[in-house]
Amino acid sequence: MGAVKSIFSFRGNRPAEEPQAAGDGEAAEAQAAAEAQVAAEAQAAAEAQAAAEAQAAEAQAAEAQEEQGGEAGETSGVGASQVGRKRKASPEGHLAKVPRKKMAQTKSRAIFELPFLRGENSDIKIRAFDEEWCLHRVYLCRSGYFASMFSGAWLETNMDIVEMQMPDENIDCDSFNETLGYLYSSNIAIPPNRVIAFLATASMLQLDELILQCEEIMKVSVSVETVCSFYYNAENYGLVHIRYICHQWFLDNLMIRQNSELLRGVGLDLMKELIASSDLLVIGVEIDVYTTLKKWMFLHLEPTWSGSQGALLAAADLYFKEYKTNSDGTPFLETDQGRAFRPVFQQLRLAYIICDLPSAHIIEQDALIPATWLIPIYKEQWLMIIQAEQSRELGPAEVYMCEIRGNSMRCGGQLHADEPCSWTWSGFNFGWDLVVCYTNRRVVFRRSALNKSCGLSVSLLWQRRVVFRLRVISFDRSGNTVLRKDTGYQVLCLRRHQELEVINLENQELTFPMYVTCNFLYIPEEGGPSHYGESGRSPRT
């Protein structure tokens, strides 16, 4: 028989469960005979090894007993012949003294060492990575991939040497070797930093149990160092739940655990999803989301930049300032370099940036965003401000998710310790004099006309309404959630100087720092943004 080169493809093989053809009876009998022979040899080796271990253990015990007997004889006068007698051997011999669990472990070790490591009685050779493995079809067929290869009318079915070329760059020699050993022993140790290589190998060889084992390891290993790799590989290998876990990790941690490697690892499509989401945990206000995007875009344009985290924003500002100086005045997102990033920046909620004067100045000075995006939003916001100032409307009376998604104001704050704290957020809040307070493990909303941060325009209406959602979240060192409380979207109705308890944490075990993040929607009950035209989001292209 000759050697054949095999380029493995996960999708290209028949399923292992496909029924055998009518003419495969002899092959099946031969395979069964081979399986019985290998198993018998491994069993014999295991029994012999177990017997040898038992005999050695018994001899050692007898020797110790004789020594103790001798000492006792010297002190009590009893002869050694009276204490050193051996017990009669049981009918089963030494094997009867070996615990069943130890026997099973010894058998498994013998099967791993003799057929796999030593390649005894091998009936097929696998060549890959400039290495050669002397293996056995009966064990390889535990893999759905090899079972399909060695059955039916495939070229490799009757070959005794198969040269493999791996179709997946994530597979390496070590993961392939360990996975082959898993077919013999059903045991494998997967380090978290190597889980992707084993996942790729298990996917190619169609080992569902090993894929599940990799998935369990990934679930508990998501961190700032692994999340990007886990997310994209979960997409590639169809691990839907792992993809969801990583996506949620990004929503929770993108704004609070920024570093250069993390931002470089987030692609355009993923970043677009994250920035568009109302579930994004924003600490600060919307201009901070814009600042994150500016740093992220700079790192994708300058992938070799290697400065410190503290120097990242200054480097990004300098980069775009130099571009603005040397350009003809075209906004960066309308250039060839910037055009790819347009769909991501279009997810910014610009209506909540331009309502704050310092933030509006930053947008203007950076000259990243085209004026054609901003002018309609300025007009829309001006009309809403007039309506808030001149109408007697109290605010929204019901929650409409179609209006909230993509339109709510995102803001938040951080608690470093279990101490009283309060937040107000900059920007024109349509006359809402709202203060968010944390005290005595409670989060309270308070409407105070004395709140100076609301500026000169404070509504004197006796009662006001707003749609809100508040979340309280804590994380472990890896960024995984240890506490999450969510009010869901509700309509808040407050009178002047009234306060309302929103979340009570008295019976919760708290971990600090703790994050309090809010979504607010100030759309009036009638004639909101849709009354004047488009929503508060930037124009779509």
Q: What is the pLDDT of residue 232?
A: 98
- pLDDT bin (cut points 50, 70, 90) of residue 497 is confident
Q: Residue 84's pLDDT is what?
A: 39
* Whole-angstrom distance, CA of residue 404 vs CA of residue 30: 67
Residue 54: the pLDDT is 54
Most confident of 59-73, 160-174, 190-204, 521-535: 190-204
Average of per-residue pLDDT across 52-72 = 54
- Model pLDDT, residue 114: 52
Extents of the domains making up the chain: 3-19+34-68+94-190+200-205, 401-525
Q: Residues 121, 37: contact at Cβ < 8 Å?
A: yes
How many Å apart are CA 12 and CA 325, to the nearest integer?
55
Q: Is the pLDDT of residue 530 over 80?
A: no
Listed as own residue / partner, the contacts of 117-126 with beta carbons closer than 8 Å and 24 or more positions apart are: 120/41, 121/37, 121/38, 121/41, 123/34, 123/160, 124/159, 124/160, 124/161, 124/162, 125/160, 125/161, 125/162, 126/162, 126/164, 126/180
pLDDT at 271: 99
* CA 225/CA 42 separation, integer angstroms: 43
Average pLDDT over residues 207-214: 97
- Please say if the pLDDT value at position 85 is more than 70: no
Angle at 46 between CA 41 and CA 48, to 5 degrees: 95
Q: Between 244 and 113, whose confidence is greater?
A: 244
CB 286 within 8 Å of CB 347? no
State mean pLDDT over 485-496.
88
Q: Is the pLDDT of residue 14 over 90?
A: no
pLDDT of residue 523 exceeding 70: no
Pair 332, 368: CB distance under 8 Å: yes
Q: Given this structure, which CATH class describes domain 401-525?
A: mainly beta
Find tokens 């198969």 and name the residue: 162
Q: In CATH terms, are 3-19+34-68+94-190+200-205 and 401-525 the same topology?
A: no
Query: Helix, strand, coil shares of the chain as percentages rounded to 5?
Result: 50, 15, 35
Helices (H), 172-237: 173-185, 195-204, 208-219, 227-236
- CA-closest candidate to residue 491, choices 400, 385, 375, 355: 400
Q: State mean pLDDT over 79-102.
A: 41
The overall average pLDDT reported for the chain is 79
Binned at pLDDT 50, 70 and 90, residue 496 comes out as confident
| Mean predicted confidence (pLDDT) in 162-190 | 93
In this prediction the pTM is 0.77
pLDDT confidence of 112, banded at 50, 70, 90?
low
Over residues 126-137, the pLDDT tens digits come to: 999 999 999 999
- pLDDT confidence tier of residue 186, bands split at 50, 70 and 90: confident
- pLDDT classification of 20: cutoffs 50, 70, 90: very low
Give the residue with greater pLDDT, 16 vs 388.
Answer: 388
Q: Which two tokens stand for residue 103?
A: 């026997």
Q: Is the pLDDT of residue 392 over 90?
A: no
pLDDT tops 90 at residue 292: yes
Fold of 3-19+34-68+94-190+200-205: Potassium Channel Kv1.1; Chain A (3.30.710)
